[in-house]
Amino acid sequence: MAAITTTTASSSFLHRRISSSPATTTTPRSHLVPFHARNRCHPRLTCRATDVSGAEPSAPPETGRGSSWVPVVPLAALPRGERRVIVQDGEEILLLWYKDDVFAIENRSPAEGAYTEGLLNAKLTQDGCIVCPSTDSTFDLRTGEIKEWYPKNPVLRALTPVLRNLFVYPAKTDGENIYISIRGASSSGGSAEILFSGKAQPGSTASDVNIEEVRMVVDEGVGGFGFTAYNELVNGKAAIIGFLLLIDFELLTGKGLLKGTGLLDFIYAISRAFSS
C-alpha cells in the first residue's frame, strides 16, 4: 500500500510540473522520437567514421608515383643515327634513334646467357624491332615484347624457354636534354655517365661530352731516345758492328744470306785467287 501511495504522489508531482511549464516549451512526442533516434545513432556514425579513417588508402596508379623523369644526357650528345650507352643508377641503358623518336632500352639481350656483347651494334627492323646480334631474336623497341625467339636455330628454340621481355625505359626530349623515366629515382634527378670514346662528366646532364685528344709535345733540347746527334752515332756504330758479326758468322759456317745471293761464293773465289 505504501508503494502505491508513493507512485501516485510521484505521478501527481510530474503532472503538476508539466502543466506549470509554458506552452511554448512543450514539445510534441512525435518530435521527440526522431531527436532521441538521432542521439542513439550518433555513436554508431562516429564509430563508422573512425573505421573509415583508419582504413588503408587505395594504391595510387603506377604511372603517377614511384617514377620520375631524369635528365641523363644533352640532346646534342646523341646525334641522329648514333647510339650511346649510359650508366644510370647502376644500369646500362642504350639510347638510340629510331625514325624521329629517341628510345631507351637495356643494353643486354634477354636471349643471351652469362656473356653478352650488348645491343650497341644491333640491327633495327622496319617494324620497330631490334635484333639480338648473337641469336637473331627480335624485340619491340616500344614495349620490349619478344617478336621472334631463336628464329634460325630450332634446336635452341625448343630447348631454351622464353625468359623475359626486353626492359624498356620511357624516354622524351625537350629540345635540350634527353629524359628517361626510372622507377624509384629521386625527384632531384640521378647521375648518368656516358660510356663511349669521349669525355663524360658524371652528373644530371653530363654537359661536357667533347672528345679530348692527346697531343705529343717534342722538346728537342731534352736528351733521350729519339733523333739526336749522339743517339744517331751510337745507333750507327751498333749497326756496323752487328753487320760485321753477321758476315763473320756466314764466312765461318758457309751458310746464310750471303750464300743465297752469290756474294759468299764471290768472296771465296777472290780469297782462293789471292792465296794461289
Dump pLDDT digits (tens) for 56-83: 333 333 444 556 888 888 988 888 888 9
Instruction: Determine which helix (DSSP H) or strand (DSSP E) holds 240, and give its type and residue range.
Output: helix 229-253
Express each pLDDT in 112-126 by its tens digit.
877 778 888 899 999
Give the list of residues 6+ apart from residue 14 with CB closer than 8 angstroms, or none. Answer: none
Name 194's bridge partners. Answer: 86
Express each pLDDT in 123-136 by its tens digit.
999 999 999 988 99
Give the list of residues 6+ apart from residue 244 with CB closer than 8 angstroms, or none. Answer: none
User: Would you state the pLDDT for residue 266?
Assistant: 75
Please, which pLDDT band fits residue 192 given cuts at 50, 70 and 90? low
> Is the pLDDT confidence value at 4 over 70?
no
The rounded distance, in Å, linking the Cα atoms of 233 and 240 is 11
Give the list of residues 6+ apart from residue 46 with CB closer than 8 angstroms, or none. Answer: none
The pTM of the full predicted model, rounded to 2 decimals, is: 0.45
Q: What angle do CA 199, 181, 57 make, to 5 degrees?
A: 150
